[in-house]
Amino acid sequence: MLRTKPWTPYLYLAPVSLLMLFVFGYPLAAIFDFSMRRIRGASGPFIGLENYRQIFKDDVFQQAILHNAQLLLAVPILVLVGIVLAVLLYERVAGWRVYRTILFAPFIIAIPVIGVVFSNMLSLNGAVNELLRAIGLGFLALDWLGSAQMALWSVMAIIIWHEMGFGVVLFLARLLSLNEEIQEAARIDGAGWWQRLWYVTIPQLKDVTEFYAVVSVITMLAWVFPFVYVMTRGGPGNATQVMELYIFNFAFRNSLPGIASAVAVILFLITLALMIPLFQLRARAEMEGIE
Amino acid sequence: MSVREMQAAPLESVTGVARAGAPRRRIDLSVVVKQLVLLLAAMTVLLPAYFMVITPLKTQEAYALSKLGFPTQIYLGNFETALRGGRFFLWFGNSIILSVGAVALSTFFAALGAFATSRMNFRGRNVLLSVISSLMVIPPVVMLIPLFLLLTRLKMTSTYPGAILVYAGMLAPFSVYLLNNFFRTIPHEIIESALMDGASPFDILFRIMLPLSSPAMMTLITVNMLWVWNDLLIALVLLPEDGMRTLMVGITVFGSRYNADVPVSMAGMLMASVPIFLIYLFGQRYFIRGLVAGAIKG
């Protein structure tokens, strides 16, 4: 540690702290205040918990929460796909570097681009249905994003497509930091591929798996706005309505920032609750040498 | 082992494949299955990319006949139409100004702050560090309403400074977190000897810590640039004027406008993606390392 005058550290911290007070501190305090006011324009009268009562009565909000919850189904899929693909890359299957580059690429591509490309590919006369018809599965062809039953699941598939590479890279980094003698010992003892995956690799990946699962839960609950906004705007009807879009619509389309702030408070509290396991897991993962 | 070290690790040291595989002659069935699984995954990833590259080269008629087929004749008119229909250069320019501005500001401020958190003693240090790492998880949509009302009152919506301040603030927690962790790994002896030579804390940060941190800096800058570049929500809300649109907002509008003309729409998407793609191919390790380190920064 440097020996400094007592106020020197605060001087160094001042610019970044002011910036964070402006972007996080003030807004986080303000949403609690706004959520208890009937706001028109910039401010309005105090109405207690009325906004909260309103949103919980609102069908659309209930659907939004339900859809966020349904999107959580992507979490186990992401974990499974991530582990399997990472294990294959770890085994140095021929061309693994190229595969790694390809598999990680969707994570870099801008979500609006992904959204526009997939909405075209998934339309009734789009490329995906053409492909299905070509391989004799034409009976499966449907308007993937336009059908109320299918839209949310299609959005979920696209989110998985985008997020998958991150899991692969995370699991791969962990695998490469493991002691391979255990794998080798299992191999010598005659354990097959599946047995090694199930009894050796998966237990060894436990911490990263938990960490990745929590990160993915947060993603599904609070970071899906651009997918939904670009591809469906929450439709058809409210079939793909989610909390973030609900906030956006109420704040910036319907000009009801009070209602929107109440939802923002709820979303904030949800992420806050998820932070506790996240930090415990991250601390553990860090100790074990994951960057 | 870090991602970087793993790239350097020789094949044989990590698996027994090379040793065990050499004497065997027959083709192992499991190798075929593994290749098939990876090939399928790679093709799933590449199909949309293929679609985005191939479609703009077709006329609308050719597209109507076959969505995935190779074009019989290469047609470049879609790019022209796209460039006339969308203000791509303006959008690119706006995105560049915002991401460079926000990343420069947040990196500079974060370096000052991280220097204090990593190398100086003060009251509340641990509390500050845990607050900073919790801020990384909060989605921007939560803060957006007060920020929008505040910027409206200050007449700073649709201005570069307003948006740059907000973006820089969003990046600040992750930047401090990463730099703090990196600064801690710099051996104390180096700093000690500089102190002997009469260096001030300011000198130590700018002459010693920052030059030694260039790999961490590259990672940080890559990830943060990508974050601002790819943001849709903040740009949508804080930059509502047409002339202030970023590339992400621009292509979203463009995509719905050319909804019926898929080849033109794809021409636009392709043009918007090429720069990032090239950067990814050359700077892959910075992306991978940074995003793994950032984990939750999406």
- We report the CATH number of the domain holding residue B152 as 1.10.3720.10
B53 touches chain A (CB under 8 A): no
* Domain edge (last residue) among B25, B43, B75: B75
Q: Which of A22-36, A88-102, B4-18, B215-229 has the lowest mean pLDDT?
A: B4-18
Residues A180-215 as b or e (16 or more Cβ within 10 Å = b): eeebeebbeeebeeeebeeebbeebbebbbbbbbbb
Q: What is the DSSP letter of A37?
A: B
B292 touches chain A (CB under 8 A): yes
Domains and CATH numbers, chain A: 59-287 (1.10.3720.10)
Q: What is the pLDDT of residue B111?
A: 96
Interatomic CA distance for residues B170 and B182, integer angstroms: 20
B198 touches chain A (CB under 8 A): no
Together in a domain, B93 and B161: yes
Other C-beta atoms lying within 10 Å of the C-beta of residue A257: 31
Angle at A74 between CA A235 and CA A131, to 5 degrees: 70
Contact (CB<8Å) B48/A248? no
Together in a domain, B62 and B94: no
| Chain Cα centroid distance, residue B149 | 28
Chain B segment 272-291 residues within 8 A of A by beta carbon are 272-273, 276-277, 280-281, 284, 287-289, 291
B154 within some domain: yes
Interatomic CA distance for residues B95 and B105, integer angstroms: 15
Q: Chain A residue with minimal CA distance to B250?
A: A112
- B80 burial level (CB within 10 Å; 0-12, 13-18, 19+): exposed
Together in a domain, B92 and B232: yes
Provide the domain limits for residue B111: 86-297
B263 within some domain: yes
- Which residue out of A21, A24, A80, A250 would a mutagenesis test of the B interface target, given it has the greatest number of B Cβ atoms within 10 Å? A24
Together in a domain, B49 and B179: no
* The pLDDT of residue A176 is above 90: no
Sign of the torsion formed by the C-alpha atoms of B121, B123, B129 and B135: negative
B80 within some domain: no
- Which residue out of B288, B289, B291, B297 would a mutagenesis test of the A interface target, given it has the greatest number of A Cβ atoms within 10 Å? B288
Together in a domain, B48 and B145: no
Contact (CB<8Å) B138/A28? yes
* Domain edge (last residue) among B42, B75, B108: B75
A229 touches chain B (CB under 8 A): yes
Residue B277 DSSP SS3: helix
Q: What is the pLDDT of residue A152?
A: 96
Q: Which of A188-197, A270-279, B9-18, B71-80 has the lowest mean pLDDT?
A: B9-18
Q: What is the pLDDT of residue B222?
A: 87
* The pLDDT of residue A91 is above 90: no
Q: What is the DSSP string of A210-231?
A: HHHHHHHHHHHHHS-HHHHHHH
Interatomic CA distance for residues B127 and B111, integer angstroms: 19
B177 within some domain: yes
Together in a domain, B122 and B264: yes
B287 within some domain: yes
Angle at B16 between CA B11 and CA B21, to 5 degrees: 95
Q: What is the pLDDT of residue B147?
A: 96
Q: Over the stretch A124-137, which tens digit does the pLDDT of each residue have?
A: 888 999 999 989 88
B203 within some domain: yes
Contact (CB<8Å) B34/A93? yes
Q: What is the pLDDT of residue B16?
A: 38
* Domain edge (last residue) among B75, B104, B121: B75
Q: How far is A30 from chain B (nearest CA, A)?
A: 6
Q: What is the pLDDT of residue B5?
A: 36
Q: What is the DSSP string of B236-251?
A: HHH--SGGG--HHHHH
Together in a domain, B122 and B204: yes
A32 touches chain B (CB under 8 A): no
Together in a domain, B101 and B211: yes
Full pLDDT tens readout for chain B, 298 residues: 333 333 333 333 334 344 444 445 566 788 889 999 999 999 999 999 999 999 999 999 899 888 888 888 889 999 999 999 999 999 999 999 999 999 999 999 999 999 999 999 899 999 999 899 889 889 999 999 999 999 999 999 999 999 999 999 999 999 999 899 889 888 888 888 888 888 888 888 998 889 888 888 888 998 899 899 999 999 999 999 999 999 999 999 999 999 889 999 999 999 999 988 888 888 777 777 776 665 543 3
- For A200-226, what is the mean pLDDT? 90
Together in a domain, B69 and B110: no
Together in a domain, B180 and B277: yes
Together in a domain, B100 and B121: yes
**Percent of chain A with pLDDT strictly greater than 70:** 97
Q: What is the pLDDT of residue B198?
A: 84
Residue A43 DSSP SS3: strand
Q: How far is B214 from chain A (nearest CA, A)?
A: 17
B81 within some domain: no
Residue A45 binned pLDDT confidence (cut-offs 50, 70, 90):
confident
Name the domain count of chain B: 2
Together in a domain, B254 and B157: yes
Q: Which of A9, A91, A119 sits opposite B15 (nearest CB)?
A: A91
